[in-house]
Amino acid sequence: MRRVISLCLLLLASAHAAEPIRVGLSGPFSGGSSPMGLSMRNGIRLAVEDINAKGGVLGRPIQLVERDDRGRPELGLRIASELIDKQRVVATVGFANSGVALASQIRYQQARIPAITAVATAHLITQQFAPPRHAANYVFRVAASDSLQAPLIVREAQRRGFTRLAVLSDNSNYGRLGQQSLLKALKQAGLKAVSISQFHNGELDMSVHLNKARAAGAQCILTYTIGPELAQIANTLAQMEWRVPMIGSWTLSMSNFIDNAGPNAVGARMVQTFIQDGTTPARLQFINRYLRANGGLRIPSPPSAAQGYDSMLLLAAAIRQAGSTDGPAIRQALENLKQPVAGLITTYRKPFSATDHEAIELDVPVIGEVRQQQVMYAYPQDRQRLP
């Protein structure tokens, strides 16, 4: 009888050990933001494949619980509640839209469950629950914050000799907060925008805003919006026969900008953490695996895919170091990762601390340029930089 009981206990322990670690994945898998949402999701899936192929974490496989937030903050909040209360996730990776991230992460903070933003860039995201106002912050990010991107956008404009700059953004949380970051960066550079405009998402005619910029003598348009609206800006510029360059945030690399604007997208420049160019064996392998798994000749949003992949690697490293799926233990491990994590974008050496939850630093991003229906390195020397 004693041997039977021991065998039963062993079987129960084995079953428990093999129980999946459930991780939430929330993003816009439909709608105008879907290129970045789907790319992020597919990058995270590849990371989970790699992690599980090596035995998972703590002897248990990672299991993703995926939900489409459609880029809507109110839906993102409901999804967060479901993932926490019903699905019992130990952490979440995702969020492509800043408004969704800011709404959803309230629930994760309350539940003391880590949430890693892989795409959304509003500077407030990692500050919403930052110390000392809060004892512990459960929100992390593996993407270039707007407070980092905006100075790089202004620097690129200056590098090309432009001093009369127009700022054009949408009225979403992403656009409004991005515009604030741009205006702050301009002020720090000793510049002032000659024209500032904001439009509604879905607006089809950008001529009013662009005529205002042209009348002010703008030499360049600095943008903060997403793919469909960026295409409207580029197409309206072509209709006006006003050939001024567009320089903006990373969203100028989205497939629905490049495809919808066609030849009018050529020359647009943007901040990028990852460009679809196999500059290292690991990057080439990732790009090829992504395209084999999902089809097409181009990743719809390469930075989203790579940031998703790296976010999942960092989360797995934290769970492994913590030796636990307890939320506070994972958070503490993320804030003090002892082993470097080799990602696609960079090698992460202590990427987070108790006071800094931003993994991407100023020396990581490069400038991309649209050419031949894809994003390439604007400056050849950046292609030689290693992760």
DSSP string covering 245-312: -EEESGGGG-HHHHHHHGGGGTT-EEEES--S---SHHHHHHHHHHHHHH-SSS-SSHHHHHHHHHHH
Judge if 305 and 202 occupy the same domain: no
32 within 8 A of 100, measured Cβ to Cβ: no
Judge if 232 and 377 occupy the same domain: yes
> Domain holding 117: CATH number?
3.40.50.2300
Judge if 69 and 126 occupy the same domain: yes
Arithmetic mean of pLDDT over the chain: 94
Residue 361 lies in a domain: no
Phi first, then psi: give them for residue 91, nearest 5 degrees: -165, 170
Judge if 103 and 165 occupy the same domain: no
pLDDT for 173 equals: 87
Residue 224 lies in a domain: yes
User: What pTM was computed for the model?
Assistant: 0.92
What pLDDT, in 10s, does the model give residues 234-282? Answer: 999 999 999 999 999 999 999 999 999 999 999 999 999 999 999 999 9
Query: How sure is the predictor about 17, in pLDDT bands with cuts at 50, 70 and 90?
Result: low
- pLDDT for 1 beyond 70: no
- pLDDT for 120 beyond 50: yes
The C-alpha atoms of residue 341 and residue 348 are separated, in whole angstroms, by 5
Cis preceding-peptide flag for 114 (omega within 30 of 0): no
Judge if 161 and 297 occupy the same domain: no
The C-alpha atoms of residue 32 and residue 117 are separated, in whole angstroms, by 19
Sign of the Cα torsion 23, 317, 112, 100 reads negative
Residue 362 lies in a domain: no
Number of domains in the chain: 2
pLDDT for 14 equals: 47
Judge if 178 and 258 occupy the same domain: yes
